[in-house]
Amino acid sequence: MEYGNFIASEWVAAAATRPVIDPATGTVLATVAESSAADVATAIRAAREAFDAGPWRTTTAQARGRILFEMARLVREHAAVLAELETRNCGKPIVESEFDVQDAATCLEYYGGLATKIHGETFSVPDNAINLTLKEPIGVVGLIVPWNYPLLLAMWKLGPALSAGCTVVLKPAEQTPLTMLEFARLVREHLPELPPGVFNVVTGDGPVAGRALVESMEVDKIAFTGGTETGREVLHGVARSNLKKVSLELGGKSPNIFFADCDLDAATDGALFGVFINQGEVCSAGSRVLVQREIAAEFIARMQEKTARIRLGNPLDRATKMGPVVSQEHMERVLAAIARGRQEARLVAGGGRAESLPQGCFVEPTIFESDNAAWIAREEIFGPVVTVIPFGDEDDAIQIANDTPYGLAAAVWSRDIFRCLRVVKAVR
């Protein structure tokens, strides 16, 4: 399969191409555009034209809503194909991809419904005047998406942008562009109501194609999800250009907190699910498991025993619980983090590449035990690696939970609902 960029509802060749690799087998799945800054500028011009001069600005909210419902219907109708493609491209188990694809459609439906519910406000002001606000689309939005939930996270951005009446240029992660390109093909074939230029997709490398979006004077907003350092780069790029609006969703090292009175069986399932779903490639993964000291030994033993039963393998096999991580490069990053962890923390399970699956980027689900000061307990690994950190009392748990530069997600497990609510409020 060969894809160009999707610009003004046409497939447009770029300056160069690049292969897209299946991380489970190392085979080439497709060839896609490797866009230069000039290729991206072509897409931005199409989006600009569609916003400034095209019919999109005067399209009613009802019509925009219907277009989003139609997009959702296309996703559901082609769910099997999209899910298989997602699994082949990013390695997640097929059962998870099927869930993601349905979730992507649900997201589009949500924003389809929201299109007609975008309200301004009125304010009482002195001197018998009326003061009111009208919500208007921002304009051309650059959507930059990571590789862990390629289709779903793209919809989290595309849905609200189109619902509000913006036009978009979307850049998928270089490793995982295929479901978005397939979605573009479906839109082109089945959704003539969508004016050309409203929805554009460009593929390519972040520091070139992503940066071209970020630094464009013609783009009015960037919606970015990705790593914290890249987020910092995006802010610098925005500062260097037109001070466009920007929203960032970045990394995490989230605490999953287990008190001694929790249901041990459910709790250990929750701890493992929280960090090993999607191979741990989840921004909100519970990658720090905080366990009250009196149950720590038993808790770790149960995690160890259950981890041994997690089935790694071909992600298209419905029995597989964990597939490969997204790429060779990422696998090497995760393995280097594990090697560093082994020097400073106690290894409880896993600890390396899955040797029985040498053809793909498979990493064993890995558990460390350490205190919260260890590097492995502080850095986001973004792979199947968890650190168990014992704690004393409630205050201790809260202190450890908050002792992180991140602050994305958290969970609390206890049979005492009052304690749960107290801790939830105290964790920042």
- Of 45, 92, 157, 171, the one binding ligand NDP (CB under 6 A) is 171
d(Cα 32, Cα 173) in Å, to the nearest integer? 12
Q: How far is the CB of 224 from ligand NDP (least distance, A)?
A: 6
Q: How far is the CB of 147 from ligand NDP (least distance, A)?
A: 5
421-428 contacts: CB < 8 A, separation 24 or more?
422/394, 423/257, 423/394, 423/397, 423/398, 426/398, 426/402, 427/255, 427/257, 427/398, 427/401, 427/402, 428/402
Paired tokens of 41: 């500028």
Q: Which segment (29-37, 93-101, 138-146, 305-313) binds ligand NDP by CB under 6 A?
A: 138-146
Q: How far is the CB of 69 from ligand NDP (least distance, A)?
A: 25
Q: Which segment (146-154, 180-188, 314-322, 353-361) binds ligand NDP by CB under 6 A?
A: 146-154
Q: Any residues with CB less than 8 A from the CB of 146 and at least 6 apart, and which?
A: 153, 173, 225, 226, 227
157 lines the binding site for ligand NDP (CB under 6 A): no
Nearest CB to ligand NDP, comparing residues 173 and 388: 173
Q: Which of 262, 283, 364, 379 is catalytic?
A: 283
44 lines the binding site for ligand NDP (CB under 6 A): no
- Residue 145's nearest CA partner among 104, 195, 94 is 104
206 lines the binding site for ligand NDP (CB under 6 A): yes
Paired tokens of 427: 């964790």
Q: Which of 49, 70, 84, 249 is catalytic?
A: 249
Q: How far is the CB of 34 from ligand NDP (least distance, A)?
A: 10
230 lines the binding site for ligand NDP (CB under 6 A): yes
225 lines the binding site for ligand NDP (CB under 6 A): yes
Q: Any residues with CB less than 8 A from the CB of 339 and at least 6 apart, and which?
A: none
Q: How many residues form the binding site for ligand NDP (CB under 6 A)? A: 28
Nearest CB to ligand NDP, comparing residues 91 and 210: 210
Reduce the secondary structure of 283-320 to three states and give it as a string: CCCCCEEEEEHHHHHHHHHHHHHHHCCCCECCCCCCCC
The strands making up 167-171's β-sheet, listed across from edge to edge, are 10-12, 5-7, 199-201, 167-171, 140-144, 221-225, 245-249
Residue 70 burial (10 A CB sphere; 0-12, 13-18, 19+): middle
Whether residue 354 contacts residue 384, with contact meaning beta carbons closer than 8 Å, is answered with no
Q: How far is the CB of 281 from ligand NDP (least distance, A)?
A: 7
Nearest CB to ligand NDP, comparing residues 408 and 420: 408
Q: How far is the CB of 132 from ligand NDP (least distance, A)?
A: 34
Nearest CB to ligand NDP, comparing residues 309 and 428: 428
Query: Has 283 been annotated as catalytic?
Result: yes
- Of 51, 56, 147, 259, the one binding ligand NDP (CB under 6 A) is 147
- Residue 289's nearest CA partner among 359, 170, 371 is 371
144 lines the binding site for ligand NDP (CB under 6 A): yes
What SS3 class is residue 324? Answer: coil
Query: Under the rule (CB under 6 A), what is the footprint of ligand NDP?
Result: 144-148, 171, 173-174, 205-207, 210-211, 214, 225-227, 230, 233-234, 249-252, 283, 380, 382, 408
- The residues annotated as belonging to the active site are 249, 283
